[in-house]
């Protein structure tokens, strides 16, 4: 297995233009709140132990640690930018598309981080970092616009997962990617970290999502193949995510919010399942 260190260096040499952050911080924390109560005792103990290593107060809990990867990016640390997304190409008008430019994408990052956590030789300090990467990337891969980029005659170099698809009439969200990062308005609440006191709003949103999409309503939660998680997001990107105009309709927003709820629920269920398999 290639090590994470190899790609730390590779990212310096071939750094692609970055996409917007994944789910906003509220979205990441909501997914963490969905996953947390589903951890088995062994996974819970290991997670608690690792998150205490080199902890920053803003991201020292299971719920907040999923935001850490965006925190360091905001600090101008860009080694890991490509780990947030999979740049699979889609062209609705026949514009030629490039081959996948790099393999160190979100699916790769999930697999590599899982390998570090399963390793008998990796030191805990590296496992602590791998856990934070894993939390974030499992969450990001369930945001459909992190699973591809659209190429058209007007944007022959791609739209960076909707970052270059401008919106009007979507409140403060000026591009499609940012709108989906906010769950099309589901994750409007701005919750300050560290938690508490903002934990209750996060848990309230998580409860509402799991009530709408309990585990028995999403049997696909049992899918363990990370590449198929990317396939799911890519299908949504190619069939639904792009509205016909720059002004999303009420019907589009309503349907998109339901999709975002289900994707957040799936992310939480699958994240808990993955950690429970790492630490049975």
Contact (CB, 8 A) for 232 and 145: no
User: Which DSSP state fits 166?
Assistant: B
Residue given tokens 């906010």 in the structure block: 182
* H/E run at residue 277: helix 250-278
pLDDT score at 22:
77
Q: How many residues does the chain have?
A: 280
Asked if the 24-278 domain carries CATH number 1.10.575.10, the reply is yes
- Which tens digit of pLDDT belongs to each residue from 234-244? 999 999 999 99
Angle at 23 between CA 75 and CA 89, to 5 degrees: 100
Contact (CB, 8 A) for 106 and 136: no
Distance between CA atoms of 134 and 138, rounded to whole angstroms? 6
- Which tens digit of pLDDT belongs to each residue from 26-80? 999 999 999 999 999 999 999 999 999 999 999 999 999 999 999 999 999 999 9
Structure tokens at 5: 């260190």
How would residue 4 be classed by pLDDT, with cut points 50, 70 and 90?
A: very low
Domains of the chain, residue spans: 24-278
Residue given tokens 């088995």 in the structure block: 40
- Which tens digit of pLDDT belongs to each residue from 151-179? 999 999 999 999 999 999 899 999 999 99
Contact (CB, 8 A) for 250 and 171: no
pLDDT score at 5:
36
How would residue 21 be classed by pLDDT, with cut points 50, 70 and 90?
A: low
How would residue 20 be classed by pLDDT, with cut points 50, 70 and 90?
A: low
> Rounded to 5 degrees, what are φ and ψ at 239?
-110, -20
Contact (CB, 8 A) for 239 and 191: no
Structure tokens at 205: 């949103």
Which residues lie across from 175 on neighbouring strands? 166
Which residues lie across from 149 on neighbouring strands? 89
Q: What is the mean pLDDT of the chain?
A: 91
Q: What global pTM score does this model have?
A: 0.91
Please give the share of the chain, as a percent, with pLDDT higher than 90: 85
Cα→Cα distances 219→38, 76, 231, 265, 277, Å: 16, 39, 16, 11, 18
In the predicted model, is pLDDT for residue 14 greater than 70? no
Which residues lie across from 90 on neighbouring strands? 150
Structure tokens at 251: 């019907």
């Amino acid at each position: 297995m290639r090590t994470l260190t190899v790609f730390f260096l590779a990212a310096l040499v071939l750094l692609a233009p970055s996409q917007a952050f994944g789910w906003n911080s509220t979205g990441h924390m909501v997914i963490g709140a969905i996953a947390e109560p589903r951890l088995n005792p062994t996974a819970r103990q290991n997670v608690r132990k690792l998150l205490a290593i080199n902890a920053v107060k803003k991201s020292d809990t299971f719920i907040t640690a999923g935001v850490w990867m965006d925190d360091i990016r905001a600090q101008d640390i860009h080694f890991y930018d490509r780990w947030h997304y999979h740049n699979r190409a889609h062209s609705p008008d026949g514009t030629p598309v490039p081959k996948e430019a790099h393999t160190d994408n979100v699916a790769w990052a999930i697999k590599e981080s899982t390998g570090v956590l399963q390793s008998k030789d990796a030191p805990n300090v590296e496992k602590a970092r791998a856990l934070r990467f894993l939390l974030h990337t499992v969450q990001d891969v369930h945001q459909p616009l992190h699973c591809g980029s659209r190429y058209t005659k007007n944007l022959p170099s791609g739209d960076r997962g909707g970052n270059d698809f401008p919106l009007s009439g979507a409140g403060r969200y000026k591009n499609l990617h940012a709108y989906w990062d906010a769950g099309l308005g589901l994750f409007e609440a701005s919750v300050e970290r560290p938690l508490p006191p903002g934990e209750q709003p996060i848990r309230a949103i998580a409860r509402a999502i799991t009530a709408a999409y309990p585990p028995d309503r999403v049997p696909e939660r049992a899918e363990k193949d990370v590449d198929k998680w990317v396939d799911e997001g890519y299908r949504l990107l190619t069939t639904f995510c792009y509205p016909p105009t720059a002004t999303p309709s009420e019907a589009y927003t309503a349907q998109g919010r339901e999709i975002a709820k289900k994707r957040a629920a799936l992310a939480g269920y699958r994240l808990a399942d993955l950690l429970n398999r790492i630490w049975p």
